[in-house]
Amino acid sequence: MPASQTSEKLSFTSTNESAPAVDLREALLTGQAPDGGLYMPSRFPRLSKDELESFRGKPYHEIAADVIGRFATGIIDPALLAELCGDAYNFPVPLEQVFDRVYVMRLDRGPTASFKDFAARMMARLISQFLREDRRELTILTATSGDTGSAVASAFHGLPGIRVVVLFPIGEVSTRQRKQMTTLGGNITAIAVDGKFDDCQAMVKRAFGDADLRRIPLSSANSINIGRLIPQSVYYFHAWSRLTNGDEPIVICTPSGNFGNMMGAVFAREMGMPVKRIVVPVNENDEIPRFLATETYATVEPSVACLSNAMNVGNPSNLARLAAIYGGKIDAKGVTHRAPDLKALRRDIFSTSISDGRTRSTIVSAWKKHKLLLEPHGAVGWAGFEDYIAQEPLNGLPAVVVETAHPAKFPDEIERNLGFTPEVPDSLSALESLPEKCERMRADYDAFKEYLKNNF
Ligand SMILES: *Cc1c(COP(=O)(O)O)cnc(C)c1O
């Protein structure tokens, strides 16, 4: 066993700092900490230079087993974890060269064609394993602005002992995204809410804290669950291992909404991976770039409905975690109890807001200049990356820009801007003919609560 891997169980503590520490298993199964905070590892496992170097020759699923295993010592047998990783990560993770040492990493080859498959497929397998060991059942509530719900629903579909309830804002998801949630049936219930993503998220959060619902064992699978973040650090190690030499740092650019994906990059850096900068472009929900610029955090309420709909978040949950890494304490409402080290945050992170107009023009320019096909989320990422290199040239360093969804999930926007429709992967085309089933609900907590009480 490498020196940095001890047999000691890693503990997880709440960002609100007043809940007992738990292990990974407990953190995964409960989702949110009882004090309303989010779980964070009490320390980050560090990888040595040699351990990082060893990733260069490994296939993706082996890097995953190594990285995830460091958070799961004493929780799951390494051989079983390796098997689960092999099963979860059975699709490619392409790095597409754009120019020089700048690459786009396409995280859209999983069954629901979004990066959320990476975390959802791992969490589903781990949770299912834990439930089997405990002979327990669980209901997973998840709010989605598009892709979480489908990835989670797909990952848990058909697993015994688990029911999934997905809430989505009816007017903010594409037809394909909706169909990915409403055509599964079985243990998956889809609820279309007449409201915004933030309404859906608030309904779910309230249900977790509601004493009247205690008898239903609830868990969350959206980006508040620490089980989402750990697998999301793996693809940054993958990119680094393929694109760098020696201990060269990499620039990472991740289009962001709830900041779970970019936290994967922060985790990788905390574990010792050399990172030059983490660039986090957002759409017109610009609370984070404003926070970095003005040092005052203010949520965007209501959130702005942009083309990159999975990033329409006016108060990202994971800000609490980002703040915690920088010594701060920010609660779920966005209230600052202790300011994070803003100087350090600015040194490590570059954030910028991209308008819908710029998103569209970037879909066009990326295609014309580089034959790079991007959907709106990836276009926000690419535009933000262009802003970044205009201010801080790469000087020969490698960079990876993350494309978070498959262009075929947004055929109208591609057709309108580029004049053709992207090729549809088999995973999505299979949905067209399936019947849809879903509940329709007002953005009203009491209606949701009644529904849960009557049906679960
Ligand atoms: C969820 C999602 C995002 C935003 O990711 P966060 O982790 O919430 O920042 C970006 N793009 C797509 C396609 C998504 O589904």
| 305-321 pLDDT, tens digit each | 999 988 999 999 999 99
* CATH code, domain with 276: 3.40.50.1100
Our answer on whether the CB atom of 144 is closer than 6 Å to any ligand 1 atom is no
Residue 31 region by backbone torsions, left for phi larger than 0, else alpha for psi between -120 and 50, else beta? left
> Which residue has 């059942």 as its token pair?
137
Same domain, 367 and 255: yes
Q: Does 293 share its domain with 275?
A: yes
Q: Are residues 335 and 199 in the same domain?
A: no
Among residues 89, 95, 18, the alpha carbon closest in space to that of 60 is found at 89
Cα(208) to ligand 1 centroid in Å equals: 23
Site to probe by mutation for ligand 1, drawn from 38, 106, 115, 349 as the one with most ligand atoms within 8 Å of Cβ, is: 115
Domain that holds residue 6: 1-90
Ligand 1 centroid to Cα of residue 390, in Å, is 25
Same domain (yes/no): 241, 369: yes
Asked whether 68 and 271 are in contact (CB, 8 A), the reply is no
Whether residue 377 sits in one domain with residue 440:
no
Q: Which atom of ligand 1 is nearest to the CA of 260?
A: 7
User: Taking 90 as the threshold, does the pLDDT of residue 58 lie above it?
Assistant: yes
| 144 and 284 within one domain | no
At residue 423, the pLDDT reads 93
Query: Are 406 and 355 part of one and the same domain?
Result: yes
Q: Are residues 86 and 99 in the same domain?
A: no
Share of the chain above pLDDT 70, in %: 98
Q: Is there a single domain that holds both residue 445 and residue 385?
A: no
**pLDDT at residue 92 in the model:** 97
Q: Which tokens go with 11?
A: 């503990």
Query: Residue holding tokens 């980050």?
Result: 44
Average pLDDT, the chain: 94
The model carries a pTM of: 0.91
256 and 401 within one domain: yes
Q: Do 131 and 275 reside in the same domain of the chain?
A: no
Q: What is the pLDDT of residues 44-56, one digit of tens each?
A: 999 999 999 999 9
- Nearest ligand 1 atom to the CA of 378 is 11
Task: Determine whether the shortest distance from the Cβ of 114 to ligand 1 is under 6 A.
Answer: yes
CATH of the domain at 69: 3.90.1380.10
Same domain assignment for residues 407 and 339? yes
- For residue 66, give the H/E element and its range: helix 60-69
Total domains present in the chain: 3
The pLDDT value given to residue 1: 43
pLDDT at 220 over 70: yes
| pLDDT higher than 90, residue 427 | no
Give me the pLDDT at residue 174, please.
83
CB of 234 sitting under 6 A from ligand 1: no
Take atom 2 of ligand 1 and give the residue whose Cα is closest: 310
Give yes or no for residue 337 having a pLDDT over 60.
yes
> How many CB atoms lie under 10 A from the CB of residue 391?
8
